[in-house]
Amino acid sequence: MNIKLTPLEGCVIIEPAIFGDERGFFFESFNQKKFLDLTGHNTVFVQDNQSYSTKGVLRGLHLQKGASAQAKLVRVVKGEVLDIAVDLRTGSKTYGKHFGARLSESNNLQLFIPRGFAHGFVVLSDDAIFQYKCDNYYDKAAEGGIHYADPGLAIDWILPPDQLIVSSKDVELPYMDGTGELGF
């Protein structure tokens, strides 16, 4: 397992060691001790989630606020997505900045997103199965997010806007206004 740093402090890409032969391949998708040793994050995951989406589906940018904030370790089991993390930690040197990574069934990369970030993804392949581990339980009362097309973020979702499939709930998410109201 290798770690690749991203421009956002604490947000890292995890590249598993893959062992393959004529039968296929094997890799360890998570190991708590290795995760701690490599990242320095003593994160204990308590909830695993999985979603299925078709090409163009954009989910995000979501977050859990306050005591319900979640760190996430995300990966793609089938297909390919562009995964986005946005730093919303008040006082962070990279507050309001974002990072994107292509995660796919062929590269087996994972992205660790610490607490204090908004998160979203768009499906680039015909369909995708997306998994994520969370270090805190989902709390409907703590839901929040940022509009995926926030001009201040200027995220390139790769697909043209007319090919994006976005829920009505996500279309109604607020834009960042620079006051820190969405920060942690």
The CB density around residue 132, as the number of other CB atoms within 10 Å, is 21
The answer to whether the CB of 99 falls within 8 A of the CB of 6 is yes
Single out the catalytic residue among 95, 98, 132, 148.
132
Length of the chain: 184
**CA distances to 2, 62, 82, 157, 169 from 14, in Å:** 6, 21, 15, 22, 31
* Beta bridge mates, 180: none
Nearest-angstrom CA–CA distance, 59 and 158: 14
132 catalytic per annotation: yes
98 catalytic per annotation: no
Q: Which residues are catalytically annotated? A: 62, 132
